Amino acid sequence: MNNSGITYIGPFSEIVTMDGLPANGPISDDQLNIIEDGFIAIKDGMILGIVKRESINLHTNPELHILKEPSVCLPGFIDAHTHICFAGSRARDYAMRNAGKTYLEIAKEGGGILSTVNQTRIAKKEELIEGILKRTRRHLESGVTTIEIKSGYGLNSFDELKMLTAIQDANDATKSDLISTCLAAHTVPPEFKGKADEYIQFLNNELLPLIKEKELSNRVDIFVEKGAFTVDQAWTYLLRARDLGYDITVHADQFSTGGSKLAVEMGALSADHLEASGIKEVKLIAESETVAVALPGASLGLGCNFTPARSILDHGGRLAIASDWNPGSAPMGYLLMQAAILGTFQKLTNAEILAGITVQAANALNLKDRGIIKSGFLADLVIFPTHDYREILYKQGMLRPSHVLKRGEILF
């Protein structure tokens, strides 16, 4: 019996701690703090520290979990931007897009975000929970232990609350940590067609206070783009959200610029997308504390440019990488594969890619207790069957984890 409550897991060929990395700018692989032939000590779901085999105190009667094959350990991955609360499919949109239809043309033919809105409004909360749990399990099996999930397919009080409640209920039913974000300002709903200002006023006066009162989320997002919301409308919305105590983030510069400047001026935690960002926007983001969140899944799904991740880092910025998993523009949802592909096209180091899905992703979500293997941090760990961490990105997501731990519990 383990009277001490301490568990040691190992030995690891390499423990890639992600500790001590630069907060801003480029990161070289030789800056990674890698500990060889170590065990990780865990107690009550938290990391106690990293120790060598000979330093384990067997007199404390610990529980030992001995790995039988060469293994590399990383912090559990964090997906800082997803839309995995939805109903239905947009396979028709995908086929139309590949056949040459534009985003606006697809929307005019009944596709686009409003197509998912219609299907999500029809769905019962239980259906949404089932979908979230299915996608969350797949993420967990891939080593993703913390997932941000947005609303934004309801676009009215009843269905936005239904989505946020479904996310909360799914969080209670899974070992993953699900972080909800209110994206009611995703696009203008049919009921407010041509009345975007009135919709923003409705959100400010009715929905945002109600979500706060019900404690369904402490994060707010808005899509700043042609066909969605203008910078001025977003300013009014985010100012209200900030006054209510929400953390804020922005869907910015996906097809046109303007959103990133707003995000920086509002002190947003993150500016996400940035595929359309030019050097002016890159410099502005890089000189701020706002985390740039690259979404390679959207670039792959839409066939558009990748976020200028290399330039953001070279100018001193902070880079996170997320999947944007959604039914429309980013249906794949494999975070590690997408991060590896982004690294290839943007010439990112292994250290920059791994930081983007661990410690920098935690920063984008304002989470201070994960993303690093260090004493006092959550024992969220992903273990790969290899002796060399470089194999993980070299295999571009096809090397699967052998173990996934959440708060010290082995789930897979």
Instruction: List Cβ neighbours of 255 (8 Å cut-off, separation of 6 or more).
Output: 103, 225, 226, 275, 276
Domains and their CATH numbers in the chain: 6-76+370-410 (2.30.40.10), 78-364 (3.20.20.140)
Q: Give the Cα separation of 131 and 145 in Å (integer).
A: 17
Instruction: List Cβ neighbours of 382 (8 Å cut-off, separation of 6 or more).
Output: 73, 74, 75, 76, 77, 143, 145, 401, 403, 404, 405
For 224-257, the pLDDT digits (tens) are 999 899 999 999 999 999 999 999 999 999 999 9
Q: What is the pTM of this model?
A: 0.97
pLDDT band at 51 (very low <50, low <70, confident <90, very high): very high
Whether 309 and 273 have beta carbons less than 8 Å apart is answered as no
For 252-305, the pLDDT digits (tens) are 999 999 999 999 999 999 999 999 999 999 999 999 999 999 999 999 999 999
Tell me whether strands 247-252 and 6-12 are parallel, antiparallel or unpaired: unpaired
Which pLDDT score, from 0 to 100, does residue 3 have? 56
Q: Report the b/e string of 180-212 with b at 16+ CB within 10 A.
A: bbbbbbbbbbeebeeebeebbbbbbeebbeebb
Record the tokens describing residue 226, joined without a space: 């042609």
Sequential DSSP letters for 267-291: T-SEEEE-TT--HHHHHHHHTSSPE
